[in-house]
Amino acid sequence: MAAVPTRLVPLVSSPSSSRAAVQLPPSSITAVLNLSRSFRGSASRFRCFAGQTDFFTRLGRLIREKAKNDVEKIFSGFSKTRENLAVIDELLLYWNLADTDRVLDELEEALLVSDFGPKISMKIVDSLRDDILAGKLKSGNDIKEALKKSVLNLLTGKGGKTELQLGFRKPAVIMVVGVNGGGKTTSLGKLARRLKSEGVKVLMAAGDTFRAAASEQLEVWAERTGSEIVTAEGDKVKAPLVLSQAVKKGKEQGYGVVLCDTSGRLHTNYSLMEELVSCKKAVAKVIPGAPNEILLVLDGTTGLNMLPQAREFNEVVGVTGLILTKLDGSARGGCVVSVVDELGIPVKFIGVGEGVDDLQPFDAEAFVNAIFS
């Protein structure tokens, strides 16, 4: 390949050039020209994929950046958790070295009440105790900042990328899964709203073929967000077929993102969990490597009880991100930290209200500031 440009240059002689052009046999010239055309074609295809990669990368970053402007929503959404943890400020206000054990015991209790879980709470408190005894923390304010830093490190160390990972080609496919009543279809609708607000052409797939009103609910969201939707034609159509048809349509008609709803199911129901595997395979047959994201919706009011659900769904379909809903009505915000630490799956979105704009991209620093204000 390195010799090709060198041999091509003499073929184009300049009137002012004093050097004679190299004469190549016709067969060699044809071979070089074909190679050149092939290279240009490859470069063109690469630029197409690179442009789409840039589109999805910018989309993920833009959604996250806009979330930073919605800090007030996150702050108000975690008000109940913040009230539980307010006792920490009282404990640290008049802290002195002699009271260290009592203060740390009560701090640990406050973390447990907010559903940080025994493992996380002990880890945080033991770290604080070591730093106090080592003379690194010399005031209540130092302890408070060390506590926030410890929680932030837990979220960022194991959580991975919180931005949507949408691959390098259109359409990106996002499959949304979860148990009944967790807010799965509503979260999908709110996610469509966010994507549409960034100019993305969105197609919904009504893959919840078990619940009678599921398709109608998603159709309402499609209308509210200005999205297109693919629904089952007939009562006996299976979810994998609906998702497959939607992804084909998305591919053929140039959609940016296909959002696939699925039936809510208990994580203990083996046959229904296996259907998720079929849905995943059906999507991958249309676009190899899809779905780009499998987002598990978890009800934040269940606190640490969500962990068994998350483990089972992850084992069956390989969850890539979490959506935690209803956190505004719960004092169990600490479960966010426990889920990330236990499973190493990033939280991508959190639900902090009932409004259409209240599905917020997760920002670890904003979360920590909201619960420990």
Q: What is the pLDDT along the chain (373 residues), one digit of tens a residue?
A: 444 343 333 333 333 433 344 454 555 445 444 544 443 443 333 333 344 555 566 565 555 555 555 556 666 667 778 888 888 998 898 888 888 999 999 999 999 998 898 999 999 999 999 999 999 999 999 999 999 999 999 998 876 788 899 888 899 999 999 988 888 999 999 999 999 988 999 999 999 888 777 889 999 999 999 999 999 887 778 999 999 999 999 999 999 999 999 987 766 667 778 889 999 999 999 999 999 999 999 988 888 888 888 999 999 999 999 998 888 776 678 888 988 988 899 999 988 778 888 888 888 898 898 888 7
Q: What is the DSSP secondary structure assignment for residue 257, as one 8-state letter?
A: E
pTM score, whole prediction: 0.79
Bridging pattern class, strands 347-351 and 359-361: antiparallel
Q: Would you say the C-alpha torsion 77, 78, 84, 90 has a positive or negative sign?
A: negative
Question: Phi/psi class of residue 319: alpha, beta or left (left: φ > 0; alpha: ψ in -120 to 50)?
Answer: beta
By the 8 A CB rule, do 192 and 256 touch?
A: no
Burial 176-212 (b: 16+ CB within 10 A, else e): bbbbeebbbbbbbbbbbbbbbeeebbbbbbbbbbeee
Tell me the sheet residues that pair with 299: 325
* Alpha-carbon distances, residue 93 vs 112, 219, 370 (angstroms): 21, 53, 19
Tell me the sheet residues that pair with 228: 203
